Amino acid sequence: MENLSTKDIVKKYEFRFSKSLGQNFLIDNSVLGDIVNSAEVNKEDLVIEIGPGVGTLTKELLKKAKKVCAIELDSDLIPILNEELKEFDNFELIHKDALKVDFKEIIGKEDSVKVVANLPYYVTTPIISRLLNEQYKFKSLTIMIQKEVGERIAAKPNTKEYGALSILVQYYCDIDIIRRVSPASFIPRPKVDSIVLRLSKLDSPRAEVKDKDMFFKVVRQCFNMRRKTMWNALKGLKLPGETIESAFKNAGVDQKRRGETLSIAEFARLADSICELL
């Protein structure tokens, strides 16, 4: 089988890029190598790839994994992928929207599952949120995303990047920044820089909470109104003033602080104190 580059495959099939599907294909082999190596894929793994494009990353994953299941939305890419990857019997292609696909069904009984993707930037946050919130059984998520989103994910308290997305990911995962990637590594070139992150799922969430929904509700409320004090932000929960006041006191958190200064442990204490008073 000839080893065609991304550019060769695009040319061979006269593929036309769709901007609205976030199609920026990787052409840089050093980035490709870093993604595959940092994902630490081995013959026990089911790899789920979101958005395989013309299959450049997919091919490298297929050489290392037990099986690769790729989810691609663009109908024009389906015949290209089937043709270019036909030599691999461990490849499964699902022609669907990754936001709607049934991950539980894909994962089945596999117990070593890793997600690897050069994500379409317009759906980065919904895909990450879905994978984490819905408690799928995967070990890690190695993703290339827009640099700014990566910085928000890895942000620490007291920075302008710290927000609900940082807390969601850090609550469930350890984060490793693998490398930065310039627009020159793609065709067509995106307008923004990219970053590769590895999110390794923790055995249990970073903080124990009585009610996850309340924890994330408090977090969202505080970051929806990030300029306001916690006290003002939590008025949105529509609870009696005394309840909120007691919750701050019991949690040992000053109600005049802003949400962006709180650690995950402090958010957890506050949410638990609210639950205890309800």
21 forms part of the interface with ligand SAM (CB under 6 A):
yes
Enter the tokens of residue 211: 């009610």
Report d(CA 163, CA 160) in Å as an integer: 8
Report d(CA 126, CA 5) in Å as an integer: 30
- Cis status, amide bond into 188, omega within 30 of 0: yes
* Nearest CA among 187, 192, 146 for reference residue 28: 187
Q: Which residues pair with 261 in a beta bridge?
A: none
22 forms part of the interface with ligand SAM (CB under 6 A):
yes
Residue from 9, 60, 93, 120 in contact with ligand SAM (CB under 6 A): 120
Handedness of CA 269, 270, 273, 278 (dihedral sign): negative
260 is in an annotated binding site: no
- Measured from the CB atom, is 53 or 163 closer to ligand SAM? 53
118 is in an annotated binding site: yes
166 forms part of the interface with ligand SAM (CB under 6 A):
no
Of 38-46, 84-92, 115-123, 165-173, which part binds ligand SAM (CB under 6 A)?
Answer: 115-123
Site size for ligand SAM, by CB under 6 A?
24
- Residues 120, 22 contacting (CB under 8 angstroms): yes
- Stretch 44-103 residues interacting with ligand SAM (CB under 6 A): 50-53, 56-57, 71-74, 77, 97-99
Of 22-30, 209-217, 222-230, 232-240, which part binds ligand SAM (CB under 6 A)?
Answer: 22-30
HSE-up (13 A, CA, CB side) for residue 130 = 15
- Residue numbers in the known binding site are 24, 26, 51, 72, 97, 118
- In the complex, the residues that contact ligand SAM under the rule CB under 6 A are 6, 21-26, 50-53, 56-57, 71-74, 77, 97-99, 118, 120, 123
